[in-house]
Copies of this chain bind each other. A is one copy, B any other.
């Protein structure tokens, strides 16, 4: 390495960002020191503030700097609908793409017994209380269409089925819009066939 120690440290530190390898870390470090000191300072301060202040919403477990997040605190949402997702990014994706007006519950992960992630780690105790409250009439399972996401959805579906008066649904799986059959993987295609519906 022919950089100064501090620049090496900065390059190393930048590698904690997802998708940033040695080459991009180097490029970022030089860019920040060369041409974006103002932006770099702002980034560092914002990052420190966010890390200090952002915690989890008491109600939905989403990332939030207030005890209850904006969505849960809003009185324009339908509080009888609860959509279960794995990550904060999923909340954003669904809020942007759909007309969904209910609340969310963010697992911050999925069940994964092999990694030691059980029901308590993804807040299912809190979800249980929520289902017991009698407020919820429909649970929409929007976990990922992966093995773990499916298993988690299945587990939660059973939890909800044990309570009376709660409908449980799972978001549809099949061929993605605009997807050409030729390029869709075989498990998706087989699923789409299996779940075909009458027109």
Residues of A within 8 A of B (CB): 1-7, 9-10, 13-14, 16-19, 24, 26-34, 36-37, 39-51, 53-54, 63-66, 69-71, 87-89, 91-92, 95-96, 108
Contact = CB atoms under 8 A, between A and B. Distances in A.
Contact of A63 (B17, B28, B30): B30
25 contacts: A1-B92, A2-B91, A2-B95, A2-B96, A3-B63, A4-B66, A4-B70, A5-B65, A6-B54, A7-B54, A10-B47, A17-B28, A18-B27, A18-B31, A19-B28, A26-B92, A30-B88, A33-B54, A33-B63, A34-B87, A34-B108, A37-B51, A40-B47, A41-B48, A43-B44
Contact of A44 (B24, B47, B54, B63): B47
Provide the main secondary structure of the chain A interface: helix
